[in-house]
Amino acid sequence: MMLAFAALLITTIPKTQDTIRGREQHLIEHFGGAKSVGGTSGNAINGIGFGNKRRKKYLSESIKEFGKL
């Protein structure tokens, strides 16, 4: 099966890697969740595991910089 993805549009340059990791996870969840947890997005696994101690920080940094999806 071949998947097609839209072109990337950069609207802002993230300040930290924490922000990038959080945004990646928000996008995975927004588009259906990772397949490893029964989701339907194009991602096989989550960018940030549920057991990751910094998960909350990554997600909050992303919301601060980009806002909610």
DSSP 8: P
In a domain, 35, yes or no: yes
In a domain, 30, yes or no: yes
DSSP 35: G
Q: Give the model's pLDDT for residue 57.
A: 97
- At residue 23, φ and ψ (nearest 5 deg) are -65, -40
**pTM to 2 decimal places:** 0.82
In a domain, 36, yes or no: yes
**pLDDT, tens digit, for every residue of 8-60?**
777 778 789 999 999 999 999 999 999 999 999 999 999 999 999 999 999 99
Cβ 67 vs Cβ 14: under 8 Å? no
What is the number of structural domains in the chain? Answer: 1
Q: Can you give the residue range of the structural domain that contains 34?
A: 17-66
Which phi-psi region, left, alpha or beta, contains residue 36 (left: φ > 0; alpha: ψ -120 to 50)? Answer: alpha
In a domain, 10, yes or no: no
